[in-house]
Amino acid sequence: MNVEIDRKNIQILSIIGVIFGFSGAAALLYQIIWQRLLFLVFGVDLESVTIIVTVFMLGLGLGGLTGGFVADGLRRYCIHLFLGCEFFIGLFGVCSKWLIDQLSFTDGLFSLFTHAFLMLLIPTYLMGATLPLLSVALIQKGVVVAEAVGRLYYFNTLGAALACFVAGFFIFNYIGLEEVLWLAAVINFSIVLLGTALRVKWL
């Protein structure tokens, strides 16, 4: 009986891990795209690089921190919250080019910097919350804590690394920023669909 449970958990963790790897790939694509879009607003200089790097680090950190508290208090709904985060990340991704295009130097550099920073803090915060939410969802099904967190983090980082390689050498050689933006959003929406199907079966 325990052997069957362990095999089932390994299967669940592997499949969910691959799906979460695609989430990491989408996040990396967004980072590249948003930085390039900010280049069009700020120019290729320190401001645009500072915004995207800082907001990603802050958003991921805050999202991971508060996502852990939320997951601990709403254990039964973690998978729903995870899928909700992925959906809204994709929705923001679809709208992000238009939102960034609205940024202007009219109100001054500080105002522009603040608006861009706060705007991008929303999706990066949701990205940070996905790991603790999905980890707790798996732990609720009997997966060991260290294995759930470690495996998910591994797959997510691997997905981001592969996306960086593929984007740099292939994707951007053939399609433009807006098309890649849609590709990243499609990945998020596909995760929602797959996650919903798996939730019915396993979670």
Q: How many domains does the chain have?
A: 1
Return the pLDDT at 8: 67
* In a domain? residue 9: no
Burial 26-41 (b: 16+ CB within 10 A, else e): bbbbbbbbbbbbbeeb
* Cβ contact 185:33 at 8 Å: no
Domain that holds residue 95: 15-201
Is 5 within a domain? Answer: no
| CA 144 to each of CA 20, 35, 99: distance values in angstroms, whole numbers, following the listed order | 17, 37, 41
CATH number of the domain residue 118 falls in = 1.20.1250.20
Rounded to an integer, what distance in angstroms lies between the CA atom of residue 172 and that of residue 182?
A: 13
Q: Is residue 3 part of a domain?
A: no
Mean pLDDT in runs of 10 for the chain (203 residues)? 56 86 95 88 76 90 93 89 96 94 78 88 95 90 80 93 90 89 96 83 55
Q: What is the pLDDT of residues 133-179, one digit of tens each?
A: 999 988 887 777 788 888 899 999 999 999 999 998 888 888 888 99
Q: What is the pTM of this model?
A: 0.90
Q: Is 10 part of a structural domain of the chain?
A: no
Q: What is the mean pLDDT of the chain?
A: 87
Number of H helices, E strands in the chain: 7, 0
Residue 8 counted as domain residue = no
